[in-house]
Amino acid sequence: MKTLLSFVTLVAMTTLSANAACSGADPSLGTVSAGHVSTAGGLSTYRLTGTVTNAGNATQASDVLQSVDVFQDGQKVDTIGIPPLHPQQSYSFSYAAKRSSEAGAGTTKMLFRLRMSRPVGTGPQDCNAGNDSTTMTF
């Protein structure tokens, strides 16, 4: 019982430390999903949509530079600008992914990665890099 109590105390302290360490802005890249698909001339265009949310407790600096880099099958294909966000504020983005209309299901892998550029003299603008990317395959 004493060992269990020590373990629970350690877990609680670790959780509190992690939350305290992330008291600033925390842009988080959510799931990206495929919506409308159109096909013309042997090429299919998939409308992909995603959301970046500031899951932190602080507003990002007004001059923070952040974007989502888009990779298709390992190659960078685009960069999408994301404005500074207030706590719990979200910003939706979209991307038109193209591939052969004959491509099989599950053959195209997309990676979306949040990229930050902190202005000089400002505090942390992303205190949890663990939620800064997501992948999808279609």
Contact (CB, 8 A) for 58 and 24: yes
In this prediction, residue 123 carries a pLDDT of 59
Q: For residue 46, what are the CA distances in angstroms to 29, 36, 71, 135?
A: 19, 6, 14, 15
Asked if residue 91 is part of any domain, the answer here is: yes
Provide the residue range defining the domain that includes 47.
28-121+131-137
Which residues of the chain fall short of a pLDDT of 70? 1-22, 118-124
Asked if residue 60 is part of any domain, the answer here is: yes
Residue 14 region by backbone torsions, left for phi larger than 0, else alpha for psi between -120 and 50, else beta: alpha
In this prediction, residue 18 carries a pLDDT of 43
In this prediction, residue 66 carries a pLDDT of 94
Asked if residue 65 is part of any domain, the answer here is: yes
Contact (CB, 8 A) for 130 and 28: no
Number of domains in the chain: 1
Asked if residue 8 is part of any domain, the answer here is: no
- What is the pTM for the complete model shown? 0.79
- For residue 66, the one-letter residue type is Q
In this prediction, residue 17 carries a pLDDT of 41
In this prediction, residue 83 carries a pLDDT of 96
Q: For residue 98, what are the CA distances in angstroms to 9, 40, 108, 110?
A: 51, 11, 10, 11
In this prediction, residue 11 carries a pLDDT of 38
In this prediction, residue 6 carries a pLDDT of 41
In this prediction, residue 26 carries a pLDDT of 94
- CATH number of the domain within which 36 lies: 2.60.40.10
Q: Residue 51: which of 66, 30, 26 has the closest Cα?
A: 30
Alpha helix segments (H runs only) across the chain: 2-21
